[in-house]
Amino acid sequence: MDEALLDTLFAQSSVGLIVLDPELRVVRANSLVDAAHVQEMIGDHFTDVYRLNKPHLAAEVLRSVLVGEGPVRDRLIRGRLRRLPGPERSFSVSVYRLDGPDEAPRGVLAAVVDVTERERARARESCLAAVRERVGGALDVAETCRSLVDAVVPGFADLAVVEVVDDVLRGADPPVGPLGPDVPLRRADPEGGTRRLPYRTPYALAVSDLRPRLVQLGPDTVWLDADPDSARLIESAGAHSLIVVPLTLRGAVLGLVSLYRCGDSEPYDEDDLLVARTAAARTALSVDNARRYERSHVIASTVQRRLLPQQEGDQAAVETAHVLLPGRNSGCWFDTIALSGARTGLVVGSVAGQGLEAAIAMGQLRMVIQALAGLDLEPDEMLARLNDTAERLAAERADLPRADALQGEPLSAACVYAIYDPFTRTCTLARAGNPAPVVIAPDGSAPPVDVPEGPALFSADSAPFATAVLTLEEGSLLAFCTEALLPDAQAAARIRRTLAAPERGLHDLSDALVYGLPADAHSDGAALLLVRTGTVPAHRVATWDLPHDRRTPSTARVLVRGRLQGWNLDGATIDATELIVSELVTNAVRYGTPPLRLRLLLGPTLTCEVHDSSAVSPHLRHARSADEGGRGLFIVSQLASHWGTRHGPRGKTLWTEQDIGAPAAAD
């Protein structure tokens, strides 16, 4: 019965059976192992019968079963029968120990099943699963292509090259196929080179008729002569099989995928071609999505750039430098605003979100700040009025049709606004959700900065904004940053260390700050504004405390004429300024309260300021022909390019600005 069972098993088994003696030599084998050479393998070592990738590991497994460590089931090995030509195959091997009546080992039985097709199908399924998982997660064309390479190598291809139409990488519309020979393609890998596809190659044919190609490579592959670059790649990689698939979508060509198998890998077949087409179709859709996002991002970034200051403006008493780091968020902005009295408004803010809508909201908020700054508002009142505008913008978005994607997308923004006064060397600031600035003294120390945090713009929080007043030494540094650069105390400490060299130029310091950022610190975009404080040179300022009586206007005219002559201004400017000062001082004497102060400031413009302690603001009137007065501010408005009233805790200041030519050397 035992012999009959054994004979039947070896004759009719659906798996290959090999009996090995204790030396792991073949004693018996059935025809499923190798029908033509069964007798020839008797006496051969198991690792001689099969040429395995890792023969020593197979021998160790057999010996472990022989010494009693238990059977091994369904162990996958790669190799091929020694006497059979062709590529390597996959085998599932189960090994059992054969014991004699005395329970001593007499050998082992190896059951071998050729599972090449099963493993091929599994590899194809794994490849497509990896493509579905990895490709399409990033809105970046190059990253999408790299994700495809990571998904197919090494499970489905030994080498993968993805090339994208060069214009597509910049967000342009892809050309409609067939792709012309003059259209450059760029490799989506660190090499990043471009090429034009030569005629008479599978690559050119694939983008011409938009069909994939399966090519077996060898010494007699004639088209390699027309494509030396591909020939060098194939030779260096040892590639023997190639699939070329165009990246197409709705008849447009986005690029080309080339998959190579090298060395001992199995050649591609028609089933592999279907897998490659499926992977390329998903990749093409993801590339097109990334391209569309890239185009939207380019448009939004362009709008953002156009809405921001195009160059650093000359301010009276501060030096500034800025950095705008590009990223997904196109709503970051900065600004420096020249205010009356040689003061400077400093702004940094950001609108959360991506795309054109964020850039437009940023531009709206920036324009509101520009307009409100001309009213000489204090920072807390500035942010309160800015928040009123933000609420109106949010209400407009909420009224959009329900089908509009923006209707349900809330707005969120942060901002810090500061005013630096060079005469008092104070910086008055308030913030709405934005981090407070980092301050560095001229000696490199970092004094503490305590600025109450107000609610972010567009938020439902109705808490009031509060101001803080920092008294700064001349030459102090202030770093205003959006939240991406100041997320925590560690980032603030890093910025302080970098800025602790105030003798360096601002542009060098801003570059150093960027160099020291973590790799992902500004993936959403960020803005940085560096400010070095200064004062107005004494020879460009004249200040007089005047008595509060009827003779003061004539005294003021004499003082002003003498000073302007010392500054070598032209006669027309001197006459106009005398009249302006006379009207402002007369108004202060008649309607204001002492003390009374007059100040002239020579800069790019000529500024006249008259201060008194009354809080009552004058109003511009158009006097009737019979009126004896009421024309003062009207005259002032005609002679000055700008004028206004600035209120403070100790009264008000009427100021005017006049455009002047470049004055000669002042006394």
pLDDT at 495 over 60: yes
How confident is the model at residue 245, as a pLDDT?
96
How confident is the model at residue 201, as a pLDDT?
92
Picking from 268, 298, 328, the residue at the C-terminal end of a domain is: 298
Domain match, 622 and 651 both: yes
Q: Give the pLDDT band (50/70/90) at residue 626.
A: very low
Average pLDDT over residues 621-632: 49
* 426 residue type, one letter: T
User: Is 132 within the bounds of a domain?
Assistant: yes
CB atoms within 10 A of CB 249: 16
pLDDT higher at 58 or 38: 58
Picking from 65, 88, 114, the residue at the C-terminal end of a domain is: 114
Question: Closest Cα to residue 610, out of 664, 535, 559?
Answer: 559
Which one-letter DSSP state was computed for residue 655? Answer: E
Strand partners, 98: 107
pLDDT (tens digit per residue) in 633-645: 778 888 888 888 8
Strand ranges of the sheet holding 526-533, from the earlier edge strand across to the other edge: 318-325, 526-533, 477-481, 438-440
How confident is the model at residue 491, as a pLDDT?
86
CA-CA distance, 146 to 209, in Å (whole number)?
25
Asked if 486 contacts 397 with a C-beta cutoff of 8 angstroms, the reply is no
Domain match, 72 and 170 both: no
User: Is 284 within the bounds of a domain?
Assistant: yes
Could you please report the per-residue DSSP string of 30-62?
-HHHHGGGTGGGTT-BHHHHEEESSHHHHHHHH
User: Is 303 within the bounds of a domain?
Assistant: no
pLDDT higher at 552 or 173: 552
Domain match, 163 and 197 both: yes
Domain match, 96 and 136 both: no
Domain match, 270 and 323 both: no
Please state the φ and ψ torsions of residue 599, each to the nearest 5 degrees. Answer: -140, 135
Average pLDDT over residues 157-163: 94
User: Is 104 within the bounds of a domain?
Assistant: yes
Which domain CATH number covers 14?
3.30.450.20
Asked if 443 contacts 477 with a C-beta cutoff of 8 angstroms, the reply is no
Structure tokens at 260: 């190579």
Computed over every residue of the chain, the mean pLDDT equals 85
Q: Give the pLDDT band (50/70/90) at residue 629.
A: very low
Asked if 473 contacts 534 with a C-beta cutoff of 8 angstroms, the reply is no
Picking from 114, 140, 163, the residue at the C-terminal end of a domain is: 114
pLDDT at 187 over 80: yes
User: Is 666 within the bounds of a domain?
Assistant: no
Strand partners, 213: 244
pLDDT (tens digit per residue) in 444-466: 899 888 899 999 988 877 788 99
CB atoms within 10 A of CB 489: 8
pLDDT at 167 over 60: yes
pLDDT at 284 over 90: yes
Domain match, 514 and 571 both: no
How confident is the model at residue 627, as a pLDDT?
43
Domain match, 395 and 500 both: yes
pLDDT at 416 over 90: yes
CA-CA distance, 132 to 17, in Å (whole number)?
40
pLDDT (tens digit per residue) in 60-90: 888 888 888 889 998 888 877 766 666 777 8
CA distances from 41 to 27, 28, 60, 81, 612 (A): 9, 9, 21, 10, 115
SS3 319: strand
* pTM for this entry: 0.63
pLDDT higher at 526 or 328: 526
Average pLDDT over residues 485-506: 86
Pick the range with the lowest mean pLDDT from 32-36, 200-204, 397-401. Answer: 32-36
How confident is the model at residue 157, as a pLDDT?
94
Domain match, 265 and 320 both: no
How confident is the model at residue 665, as a pLDDT?
46
Which domain CATH number covers 391?
3.60.40.10
Domain match, 596 and 617 both: yes
Question: Closest Cα to residue 418, out of 388, 439, 390?
Answer: 439
Domain match, 100 and 125 both: no
Average pLDDT over residues 410-438: 92
User: Is 603 within the bounds of a domain?
Assistant: yes
Average pLDDT over residues 614-627: 59
Structure tokens at 121: 């199908």
User: Is 664 within the bounds of a domain?
Assistant: no
Which residues constitute the domain of residue 405? 309-533
How confident is the model at residue 85, as a pLDDT?
67
Average pLDDT over residues 599-613: 91
Q: CA-based diameter of the chain, in Å?
A: 140
Non-local (6+) Cβ contacts of 245 within 8 A are 206, 212, 256, 257, 259, 276, 277, 279, 280
Q: Give the pLDDT band (50/70/90) at residue 323.
A: confident
Domain match, 402 and 513 both: yes
Share of the chain above pLDDT 90, in %: 36
Domain match, 317 and 225 both: no
How confident is the model at residue 664, as a pLDDT?
47
User: Is 665 within the bounds of a domain?
Assistant: no
Non-local (6+) Cβ contacts of 284 within 8 A are 247, 248, 249, 254, 255
Which domain CATH number covers 628?
3.30.565.10
Name the range with the highest mean pLDDT among 126-140, 407-421, 648-662: 126-140
Q: Give the pLDDT band (50/70/90) at residue 382.
A: very high
How many domains are contained in the chain? Answer: 4
